[in-house]
Structure formats: structure tokens, C-alpha cells
Amino acid sequence: MLFELTRNGKLRFLTLTLLAALLALSAVIGTSSSLAKSRIDFERAVNMAGQQRTLAQQIGKEAILVAMDINKETNLERLQSSHAMFRRISKGLREGDAELGLKPLADPELIRHVDRVDQIWGSVEQLLAKGVVGDEMTAEEVVAVAEMTEPLYSVVDELVKALRLEAQKGMIVFSINLLAIDYSTRQSMLSQKLAKEFLLVAYGHSVEKNRKALARSSSHFDRVLKGLLDGDLQLRLRQAPTPAIRIELQKALQIWTDFVPIVEGVANGEQVDDGQLGQISDLNLTLLQTIDSATELFEAL
């Protein structure tokens, strides 16, 4: 019966047309899957490079805590861990790292950005050579590490921007979420940066300069956190897109509310007391962990 129906070729033509359409659809689905995979890879690369921004500031903060003998053993372990993770992410961006979810970057311009990061990181590592093995660093070395984390942060930030631009090509909807991931990882960095600036004031290094930097970091952190939670048109941030993300950001806001009086007081000229040093050390890590949880939820969207 099927043969009789197809003798005039009409049904056979329709069948072939349908087959061609199905093959075309399959190709589109395959391409979409490939694009989706590419997006996920870039989300991860942006996230991990964003973590390097945080680690740059964290290393400076932890070096000061060790030098000031504040929970020295614990903070030495944290310094060693931050140092090792920074190195591992750079290597993962170059060579891939399955556990970190990274594939090797192939674009020459992106590799040039990684080269610039590694160049400044080499100087930081030299300054940290004694510190990461537990030997006492001089005050000059501690300050130099803290100061060098700023140019290190800057080159990592350029890498993050380059990764984000590459990921955004032709992906308008996707870029909105990628921007939120970028801002969220930037918040993690700011939580460590303002702690470092607070500690530099306590350490007696460039006190007025670091009070002003602390005020700027605090103000920016406050705005972005509220933007991630409730949206900010100028920052191009939408409201927290899921209840789970909103819950984590609200937790971060509550911790930040406890953080603000201490930070703003010192930024406005108050002296740092010993009790505040312990509070800052504990609160900024809790804040970091909460923001990192929100970032993971953004990345999972």
C-alpha cells in the first residue's frame, strides 16, 4: 500500500522533505548543545578568574594577620591554601583542570592576559617565599605583599573582563546572568579587600590612604550587594532571580549589617581595638562564604 501511495512521488517528496527537516533540526540541537557547553565553560572560567581577584586580596589580608600574630597558625594555613589555589587556577586556565571545571583557553589574546597575571604573580610569590613556609616576614615584606596585591588584582580583573566579553558574543540573555556572576565574585573580592585595608590601618601603614580606600570599598560593596538583591538599573543588575539566591544574599546582607559599624568607624577616623581585629577576621570569612554560595547558585542557572 505504501508503495502505491508513493508511485507518483508526492509522498516520497514529503517524506524526504520531512527527513531533511529532522536532520536540520538535529544539527541545530547539536549546535545549541555545543553553544550551551561553551557557555558553561565560560561561566566557570569567569567564576574561577573572579576567584583569583578575591585570592589576590585575601593573600594580602592573610599575610598581615600572620604578621600581627592574629590566629597565626590558622591564618598561615589559609595563606598557604590561598597561594596554592591562585597558582592552580592560572595553570587550569592554561592547561585545563577537570576538578575545577576548566578547559584550556585557546584564544591568544586570553592567553596574553593570563601571561600578564603570571608575570605580576611571580613578584608576589617572591615576596611571599618566606611567609608561605612559616618563616617570619619583615614589616617591609608584609607591606610589599599588601601593596602588590593591587596591581595583581588589576591584571586579573582585565582577564575577567576579557573572558566575559568572549562569553557574551551573541548571547544577550546569557550575558545578564554572567554579569551577575561577575559582580558576585567581585563582592567576594571586596569582602577581602576591605578587610585588608582595615588591617593596614591597624598595622599603621599609610593610615589615611587606607581609611579612604576602606570607605570606598565599603560604599561599593554596600551598593552592589543591594543591587544583586533588589536590582540596580545603572549597574545593569536585575533582582535576585530565584528564592534560593535571594536567601543567600539576605544572609550576606545581615552579616554585612554587623560589619558596617566597625568598618565605617575606622574609615571615619576611629582607632582599631584588639576586639575588632578578631571580629573582622571572623566576619569577613563568613561574609565571603555566604557570597560564594550565592555565586554558585548564579552559576547553576
pLDDT band at 301 (very low <50, low <70, confident <90, very high): confident
Domain hosting 122: range is: 39-169
Residue 62, pLDDT > 50, answer yes
Instruction: Looking at the structure, tell me whether residues 182 and 298 fall in a common domain.
Output: yes
Residue with cell 604578621: 67
Q: What is the mean pLDDT of the chain?
A: 86
| Interatomic CA distance for residues 151 and 33, integer angstroms | 38
pLDDT computed for residue 203 by the predictor = 95
Of 17 and 244, more confident: 244
pLDDT computed for residue 280 by the predictor = 87
pLDDT computed for residue 42 by the predictor = 77
Quick one: average pLDDT of 213-227?
97
Cβ contact 239:228 at 8 Å: no
Domain boundary among 169, 197, 213: 169
Instruction: Looking at the structure, tell me whether residues 68 and 141 fall in a common domain.
Output: yes
Instruction: Looking at the structure, tell me whether residues 181 and 296 fall in a common domain.
Output: yes
Residue with cell 565605617: 264
Q: Which residues contact 197 (CB under 8 A, 6 or more apart)?
A: 210, 213, 214, 217
| Interatomic CA distance for residues 131 and 94, integer angstroms | 27
CA distances (Å), origin 90, targets 22, 63, 150, 179: 43, 21, 17, 21
Which 3 state secondary structure label does DSSP give 97? strand
Q: How many CB atoms lie within 10 A of CB 64?
A: 25
**What's the pTM?**
0.83
Quick one: average pLDDT of 83-87?
97
| Interatomic CA distance for residues 209 and 193, integer angstroms | 14
pLDDT computed for residue 84 by the predictor = 97
How would you class 200 by CB atoms within 10 Å of its CB: exposed for 0-12, middle for 13-18, buried for 19 or more? buried
Minimum mean pLDDT range among 55-64, 157-166, 175-184, 221-230: 175-184
In a domain, 11, yes or no: no
Secondary structure, 3-state, 28-45: HHHHHHHHHHHHHHHHHH
pLDDT computed for residue 171 by the predictor = 60
In a domain, 144, yes or no: yes
